[in-house]
Amino acid sequence: MKLGIIGLGRSGKTTIFNALTRRSGESVPAGGQVVPALGVVPVPDPRVDWLTGLYQPKKTAYAQVTYMDLQGMAGGIDNKQEYIALLLNHMRPMDAFLMVVRNFSDPGMDAPHPAKDYQELEDEFLIADLATIEKRLEKLEMEQKRGKKIQGAERELLQACAELLNAETPLRTRPELANAPELRGFTFLSSKPLLVIVNNADDDETLPDLSLGSADAMVVRGKLEMEMAQLPEEEAEIFQQDFGIVESALDRVIQHSFSLLHLATFFTVGEDEVKAWTIPRNLSAQESAGVIHSDIQRGFIRAEVVAYEDLRSTGDYAAARKQGLVRLEGKTYPVQDGDIIHFRFNV
């Protein structure tokens, strides 16, 4: 699962990317990167921590998200159209976006105006999606003129999307429309989940009013977080005390970005490994087995399932079983977030 970090030039994208991936800042060139940098980050999950305490495994594996530090959008570039087109191509394969907006003063830049910056970027999404739709509608029209019959509801669905976009409404407000099977081939930018990261100055923790509508927002003090992320643990604690920081915002950003993706997590447990697996919500037990290994999917017999909350409240597996909370489920059982599963299979 990939999240693209986007924003205007010098909004602090690379700073926040470095903080999230706990990377040192030195190696990153200023002025954006030509080749976008990738960083894989474990998703903090107290359930995995608790299971690790219970099983004392040799290895623990958290769910992961991948962040990509993309170049800045617009801001005094000569051939803006071409640049944006190139950037949009990097953005299309992303599953969701973190949009960084500047809310700190920077010498040589205007005073910060986060609400305006957010709107400017959102407008780029709307314009790009409208252009995609208009091109497709024109093509359909031409085909119809040449006598080809238009199949299905594609045209009506596209027109409904265009109507929303013309009213300056991002497609993410209507996921059932943007994700209709007839529109599967399109990668609309305004339909992807969006988390706005307001990048505040070091001494400011307030979230400005952005009039967001369909996106979520969080405040992060990017520079502070990056500096803190690069310190050894002990020093980071002193740093936190000095700045009166109760907790780092990074864990919340990572958890929030993961939840944007509408995924579910199930766990496998044992003495060797406690591991979080990531699946689309309600994936069947048999398909979920395939995430671990195709053999387990092929030879699937049953899934032995206990909900995390049930294991937690009973204390351990034997107790949960005694109380009848360990269930045997078949192939089509929709796996729930927090299920702990032992797959029985035969190959």
Residues that bind ligand GTP (CB under 6 A): 7, 9-15, 30-32, 72, 104, 106, 199, 201-202, 221-223
**CA distances, 245 to each of 13, 222, 239 (Å):** 21, 13, 8
Nearest approach, Cβ of 55 to ligand GTP (angstroms)?
A: 40
Q: Indicate the SS3 state at residue 298.
A: helix
Question: Angle of helix 250-260 relative to helix 13-20, nearest 10 degrees?
Answer: 90
Are 189 and 91 within 8 A, CB to CB?
A: yes
The answer to whether residue 290 forms part of the interface with Mg ion (CB under 5 A) is no
Query: How many of the other CB atoms lie within 10 Å of CB of 73?
Result: 24
Q: Which of 20, 164 has the CB closer to ligand GTP?
A: 20
**CA distances, 304 to each of 10, 99, 257, 333, 339 (Å):** 51, 41, 30, 11, 10
9 binds, among ligand GTP, Mg ion, none (CB under 5 to 8 A by kind): ligand GTP
Kindly tell me which residue out of 14, 190, 265, 288 binds Mg ion, with binding defined by CB under 5 A.
14
Residue showing the smallest CB distance to Mg ion in the complex: 14
Say which amino acid occupies 303: A
Q: Which of 72, 193 has the CB closer to ligand GTP?
A: 72
Q: Which of 180, 210 has the CB closer to ligand GTP?
A: 210
Residue showing the smallest CB distance to ligand GTP in the complex: 72
288 binds, among Mg ion, ligand GTP, none (CB under 5 to 8 A by kind): none
172 binds, among ligand GTP, Mg ion, none (CB under 5 to 8 A by kind): none
Nearest approach, Cβ of 75 to ligand GTP (angstroms)?
A: 8
- Dist CA 124 CA 46 (whole Å): 38
Helix (H) or strand (E) holding 329: strand 327-329
Q: Which of 25, 44 has the CB closer to Mg ion?
A: 25
- Judged by the rule CB under 5 A, the positions of this chain that interact with Mg ion are 13-14, 32
